[in-house]
Structure 1
Amino acid sequence: MSNSDGQQGIEEQEAVIRHSDSGTPTQAVSSKGRYWWSTRRFCMSLLLSVLLAIGVFVFFVVSFGHFKQPNLVYNDLHYDMQVLPNGDLRVKQKVDIKLRARKDTNGGDKTWRRLYQQYRLDSSDLTGISDISVRDLTQGTEYQPTTALSPDIARNFIDWNRVRANHWYAAIVEQYPAQYSDDYIDYEYDPATPKSSTDESSPAGCAPDEQSCLLEIGWNIPETVEADSRVFEIEMTMHGVTTAYNDVSNFEWEPIGGQNETLIRRVSGVIRLPKNTNRENSKAWLHFNGPSNNWRDADGTLHFEAGPVQPEQHLDVNVYMDKSLTPNVARVNPHEAKDGIEASERSDELRSRMENLAKAREKMQTFIVLSVITIVFAIVLIISAFSSYNKSRYHGDAVYWREIPGITPAATAVLSEVLFAGMGQSQSRQMAATILSLANKRAIAIYPGPASLYQDCDPSHMGTSDLGQILRKQKDVKDVDESSEKTSTIVILPLAHADNGSLDVSRSEQAALDMLLAVSGKLESSTFDLIQVKETFKDDASSVKLKQSFDDAVASESGFLVLRHASLRVVISILAVIVAFGLVIHASHKGLLLVGCVLAAVVIACVVFCLSYGSSDVLTVDGQEQAGKIIGLHQYLTDFSSFTDRGVTDLTLWGSYLVYAAAMGISKKAMEQLAQAYPQVTDSSWLDSNTSYPLIYMSYRPYGFEGGWQDLGSGGFESSQQVFISDFSDIGSELASSCFEIETAISASGISSDSDGSFSGGGFDGSFGGSGGGSFGGD
């Protein structure tokens, strides 16, 4: 952790150091008691939560919305239809089609070759289709008629663009007897149609004795990989759709049937009734269970628009008019139909409106339930974040602490990680501080540079003056391996091989010493550098066991100070993520995809906030007591030069201070403070003459490799490269490297029990099965 990180940790305690008039800091430090709050932490967590929430929303919308859209989509479909005097329908449609890119089984582009529409021919309504024409308005091409090909033949047809493209076809695709089922039978309209409702003659083109069959009208386009918009105009005449009763003529036209599998984003239409039709002698109803609008002009012309029309959602228009307006209708029924049609439509509309109201209420209830679930989880997660952070804060009055804490350097690193937000650097600091402590207790020595520098001497019995000579000599060497600049040499001193009880080492210090002794044994040398440590432990299973022993020791020493508190937060967070997915899935089934995505994004944002703002570790009662000492020592070391009552005792303690400064991640700041208070530590001659402060010597003794502390004069100095401290703060990682919108009830509450056929106010889900049953596709 950098000094700025540590200082931020102090600021989070909201401790304000007061100074007396003499310039000596007092012992008292105030605290406002807002231990659950950190402005900087809150802002960073909030920003991260918002950014991830946006990403999650986009992910859910794309993941749960995209798969519902087929490769072929109708962007827009417009009908312009004229009812002829004989009851037939002359239909002109303009269709805007989107073609998505596809891949074949080999991973190559699968081109589009044909587009088609299918209609159901039936002896009781649509008896035939004629006068077909197709125009490609995008390319300005008039398509010509041709024979039909089955899909397999069309897919493998050679020279498609030259021979088959820019043509249209009409074919029966359901045929009896069965031997014709694998082929398309070319279709041509036969005007011999049934003359009454009891006539059971088969429609033209259907197999004998078959009352219905499927007619496909398709057009062959030039091979196309993808297209955002291709516009076509298709015209046809639909025969036999109208039945003349004794009182009215009636047709139910179904341009989009329940078998359609193509998404239609918007559909609109104009239905022009025969001359002299008006509101009094005709009635009409739009059947569509979705957003729609319909109206009629004074001359009786009908208009409608709807969309989107989902796959398997039908749309039809039911119309009756005075019998005299269509005198030449071929199909005749000797009964009256007007009252029956109106009664049926009233019943259908009432049923549809009631169903829509029930669905709207269900959606509203779903929205409320999902919102409550979201709010509950949000509150729980946010409270958990503030609560866990509060429990990780020191709640007392921080004071200056001059003594060595009663806990090990490794435990200090763990506690400092919690107190000063060390950003996950606790492990490397545990190892660095522990090895420094071994050096301070003279179990080992630590020298700058690679072990090769000391091959001509006995480093275990080398004094500071001898080391100074080696360093001064090395300064003149120009050809230095750059990698050696970033390492240090460890020397196992005789005391480490003696009765280890005399070292007074902790369990973690003994585990770290065992690691170094293991390296010494493998290298058969008591002198080695960190590069050799890394190479020795690389792919060595024993290093994992040694490191685990160290980690277990640290856990034992810090367990009474800090408790892992992540389990509950993690469980709640995992459950919240599962709930977020459930919100989207359930909302999408209820037609509230966007609502579900928004609520899920809110839950995920709260999860991220909980994990980022909250703390995984909390302080115990003993941890609170030790935290005050650590914070006090932290403040003492970073403000050391301000004290006037210093003495030799302070300098003697600085070997241990540097150990704990490394554990807290404030080595650089602490060294600056010591040098300001005792400028002699930056003097090479003074250092070479003093052997009582080994860690102070190694921290400040200038040497080659362009590193070490450089005296800049006037009491100021800086570190061009923190060779010693930086190298050892990395040792831990080196040793471990092997190792839809809401539908409201208001919109559906206007239930009417009197469907008057005025063709206004929007459609409703009426009976389907009218003439055509259109479906659309392509291959």
Structure 2
Amino acid sequence: MLKRRGFWGLILGLLVGLLFCVVGQSVQANADYTISPYRVNVQVLKNGDANVTQTMTYQFDDDYHGVFDVQDMRGIQGGQLTDVQYQVNNGGTVSGVSATDGQNGSYELTQNKHRMKVKLYQTVSDGDQMTVTYRFHLRGIIKNYRDTAELNWKVIGTGWDVQLNHVKVTIQLPQTKISKLQAWTHGPLSGHTQVDRQQGRVVMTVAQNPAESFVESHLLFPTTVTATNTNKVAKDRLVAAQQQEAKLARQANQKRQQSLWLRRGVFLALVILLIGFGARSWRWYHRHPANKYTHPTPINHSFEVPGVTPALARSLADGMSPNTDALAGEILAAAARKEITLEPVKNGRKDTVKLIKNGEQTNSFLDKCFAKIGSDDSFTLQELKKFGKHDKTDELNKWFSEWQESVDNVADAYYDENNLNLRERLIGTRLGLSALIILTAAASWLLGATAGKIGIVSGLVVLIAFWVLVGRFYRHIDRNNAKGLVQVNELTGFRRMLKDIGHFNTAEIGDLILWEQILPYAAAFGLAQKVADKLAVDFGSAALDTDLVVFYPLFYGGLGLPLGDALSDSLSTALQSADTSTDSSISGGSGGFSGGSSGGFGGGSGGGAF
């Protein structure tokens, strides 16, 4: 069975890893700002020059002095910066002023034949938003060959240190109705190129362009569009450029198709794994049914003293290991058996209770406390807390765990081991299948946005139905055997009686000897003080002083300590203190981006914040 589980775990792990490989992005160094949206508008002129407007919006997660932008000019005939504008948050648009003093609103331009770098000084803080617009005039971006005009340009270069989001690049030619306009874009394969020949416009969009990645635009159109262009080359270019782009487009389409089939394969594998795991699990549970028992008639209120110890009573009623309330109940029971004496100690604001050893101890936790804490076979709750605070070796928790284990061993006789194992396995099955359902629903986005939305809704419906079904099945698996069901039924009625103690006259139910036996159980259920207060009302202080010999000084002696709560709280505090345990167009029409590069000019442009 372990080998089979290991096999399915390995398969699931491989599929999860493959899913992240398919949908994951390369890890980039984190910057304390994002850029969204990013817009570039290129207005091509008749002479082959272009007016470029570059607009980006920064979202800052830290304080910065300003931002900068680099415009690569390699491969063209030069250019100049014509304007810088910015807007901080909801303020008005401000025009930058050329200066070298670094004051807010100033910009500094450094330029050579390879690039222009613009530094805009404007102090921003964490949470600020700033939109910056740069305008450039670039000369000679178009080449007129004998048979075609060409624009081949990395509009977005590799100099960006952060991902650009919601990217849109618009190139408007100086003429409309260009029937022979062709365009290709190289960059992320998720991008799209829209060629509008009627308007003489090309629009490129991509949701995210990763850091240090480029978007390259390659346009071919008749030379008459840029008729006055002096940047001419006396050779033919059209066929070679078309062949180059056709090859790149085929390669991109092949990669895109491979990616699609890989995504489909991952999704199909998850569906098969989900169905297979679900069918295998159903078959296993069908072949290994739970043991069935006849349930006793529920008891509403029980006034009988349980036939088990207070700690075991709390453990069985909760179906888990005993807690500090249960230990407090055991301490009161030990006092009732005269194994220990509980003595109030008035000490100003630090009133406490002293536990005095009278003889052999049946409680292992108490036995170790008497041996290691306090002196003269006694210790106070104050000393218990202090010991826990300085318990570097975690002894106190070890003693408590050993005591819990001893109670758990006795409780085993009341449980059905087969059903408990079945319940534990069902929890693992529920978690495993839930993870597969969620993973499969998430993987549906690999097939597209529409499929993703359908997958998420369907996955949610399946997940809810699955949890309801498993929950009903789980509740019908009895953790207790026949003996345990009877005992738990009595304990449930007994605890309900203690909770509803205010509705009864305790003096009419039994004498104080009975209630002295009940008080340790009330402490184990965290209800000791509630019961003690009710006894005071029904019996009167004189009767309590005479007949409630063991517990009267503790509950009614004026110490101001609710004993059951004091014991449990002291134990919890001490134990916690001791705990030392984070597709691309081949023809040049509209379509997806291509990979590779057509060798366009530029490529070093970029920017960021400083």
Same fold (TM over 0.5): yes
Q: CA deviation at 1:514?
A: 2.5
Amino acid at match of 1:115: D
Q: C-alpha offsets along residues 459-485 of structure 1, whole Å, 9 cap, x if unaligned?
A: xxxxxxxxxxxxxxxxxxxxx82332x
Residue 429 (structure 1) aligned to one of 321, 325, 334 = 325
How many residues end up aligned between the 2 structures? 551
Residue 244 (structure 1) aligned to one of 133, 142, 145 = 145
Matched, 1:118 2:80: no
Matched, 1:727 2:566: yes
**Which residue of 2 is the match for residue 29 of structure 1?**
none
**Which residue of 1 is the match for residue 5 of structure 2?**
none
C-alpha distance 408-606 of structure 1, shift in aligned 2 (>3 A)? farther
Q: CA RMSD in A?
A: 5.7
* Alpha carbons 1:113, 1:224 under 8 Å: kept: no
Q: C-alpha offsets along residues 200-240 of structure 1, whole Å, 9 cap, x if unaligned?
A: xxxxxxxxxxxxxxx11112323645663242332223327
Q: CA deviation at 1:408?
A: 2.4
* Alpha carbons 2:315, 2:411 under 8 Å: kept: yes
Q: Secondary structure at the match of 2:319?
A: helix
Q: CA deviation at 1:664?
A: 3.2
Residue 302 (structure 1) aligned to one of 201, 215, 223 = 201
Matched, 1:90 2:50: yes
* Alpha carbons 1:654, 1:696 under 8 Å: kept: no
**Which residue of 1 is the match for residue 411 of structure 2?**
558
In structure 1, C-alpha distance between the alignment counterparts of 2:508 and 2:496, rounded to whole Å:
18
Q: CA deviation at 1:629?
A: 3.4
**Which residue of 2 is the match for residue 78 of structure 1?**
40
**Which residue of 1 is the match for residue 263 of structure 2?**
363
Q: CA deviation at 1:435?
A: 1.8
Q: CA deviation at 1:605?
A: 11
Q: CA deviation at 1:658?
A: 2.3
In structure 2, C-alpha distance between the alignment counterparts of 1:537 and 1:249, rounded to whole Å:
84
C-alpha distance 545-307 of structure 1, shift in aligned 2 (>3 A)? closer
Within-5 A mapping of 1:642-657: 652-657=513-518
C-alpha distance 514-356 of structure 1, shift in aligned 2 (>3 A)? closer
Segments of 5+ residues of structure 1 without an aligned counterpart are 1-60, 103-108, 147-158, 172-186, 188-214, 385-389, 453-479, 501-507, 708-721, 740-747
**Which residue of 1 is the match for residue 135 of structure 2?**
234
> Structure 2 length normalisation: TM-score?
0.68
Q: C-alpha offsets along residues 680-735 of structure 1, whole Å, 9 cap, x if unaligned?
A: xx333334444xx53574577x4435x5xxxxxxxxxxxxxx72333334353355
* Alpha carbons 1:81, 1:271 under 8 Å: kept: yes
Within-5 A mapping of 1:98-247: 98=58, 100=60, 111-112=65-66, 114-119=68-73, 121=74, 126-136=75-85, 140-141=94-95, 160-161=102-103, 166-171=107-112, 187=113, 215-222=114-121, 224-225=123-124, 228-239=129-140, 241-245=142-146, 247=147
Within-5 A mapping of 1:269-288: 269-273=170-174, 278-280=177-179, 282-286=181-185
* Alpha carbons 1:287, 1:764 under 8 Å: kept: yes
Amino acid at match of 2:348: D
C-alpha distance 142-405 of structure 1, shift in aligned 2 (>3 A)? closer
Segments of 5+ residues of structure 2 without an aligned counterpart are 1-22, 88-92, 285-289
Amino acid at match of 1:558: A
Q: C-alpha offsets along residues 590-620 of structure 1, whole Å, 9 cap, x if unaligned?
A: 999x979989x98999999999x989x9435
How many percent identity over aligned positions?
A: 17
Q: CA deviation at 1:488?
A: 3.4
Amino acid at match of 1:661: A
Give 1 or 2 for the bigger CA radius of gyration.
Answer: 1
Q: C-alpha offsets along residues 732-769 of structure 1, whole Å, 9 cap, x if unaligned?
A: 33553564xxxxxxxx6xx97xx555x54666558522
Within-5 A mapping of 1:665-680: 665-668=526-529, 670-671=531-532, 679=538
**Which residue of 2 is the match for residue 743 of structure 1?**
none
* Alpha carbons 1:290, 1:307 under 8 Å: kept: yes
Matched, 1:769 2:608: no
Q: Secondary structure at the match of 2:152?
A: strand
Within-5 A mapping of 1:333-732: 333-335=234-236, 337-342=237-242, 345=245, 348-349=248-249, 351-353=251-253, 355-367=255-267, 369=269, 395-399=295-299, 403-418=304-319, 426-447=322-343, 449-450=344-345, 481-484=348-351, 487-492=352-357, 496-497=358-359, 500=360, 509-511=362-364, 514-515=367-368, 517-518=370-371, 522-524=374-376, 529-535=380-386, 539=390, 547=400, 550-561=403-414, 618-619=479-480, 622-635=483-496, 652-668=513-529, 670-671=531-532, 679=538, 682-690=539-547, 693-695=548-550, 697=552, 702-705=556-559, 723-732=562-571
Amino acid at match of 2:336: N
In structure 1, C-alpha distance between the alignment counterparts of 2:208 and 2:544, rounded to whole Å:
87
Q: CA deviation at 1:431?
A: 1.9
Amino acid at match of 2:53: Q
Amino acid at match of 1:511: S
* Alpha carbons 2:249, 2:594 under 8 Å: kept: yes
In structure 2, C-alpha distance between the alignment counterparts of 1:320 and 1:776, rounded to whole Å:
28
Q: Secondary structure at the match of 1:434?
A: helix
* Alpha carbons 1:133, 1:143 under 8 Å: kept: no
Q: CA deviation at 1:316?
A: 0.3
C-alpha distance 394-509 of structure 1, shift in aligned 2 (>3 A)? farther
* Alpha carbons 1:435, 1:512 under 8 Å: kept: no
In structure 1, C-alpha distance between the alignment counterparts of 2:271 and 2:123, rounded to whole Å:
46
**Which residue of 1 is the match for residue 17 of structure 2?**
none
Q: Secondary structure at the match of 2:413?
A: coil
Q: C-alpha offsets along residues 378-430 of structure 1, whole Å, 9 cap, x if unaligned?
A: 99999x9xxxxx999994433466654443222222222328xxxx9x32223
Q: C-alpha offsets along residues 122-166 of structure 1, whole Å, 9 cap, x if unaligned?
A: xxxx342145534345575476699xxxxxxxxxxxx5559x953
Q: C-alpha offsets along residues 531-585 of structure 1, whole Å, 9 cap, x if unaligned?
A: 3554577646776675565344334333433578697688779979998999999
Amino acid at match of 1:481: G
C-alpha distance 358-738 of structure 1, shift in aligned 2 (>3 A)? closer
C-alpha distance 235-378 of structure 1, shift in aligned 2 (>3 A)? farther
**Which residue of 2 is the match for residue 41 of structure 1?**
none
Q: Secondary structure at the match of 2:121?
A: strand
Q: CA deviation at 1:310?
A: 0.6
In structure 1, C-alpha distance between the alignment counterparts of 2:27 and 2:291, rounded to whole Å:
42
C-alpha distance 657-669 of structure 1, shift in aligned 2 (>3 A)? same
In structure 2, C-alpha distance between the alignment counterparts of 1:640 and 1:73, rounded to whole Å:
65
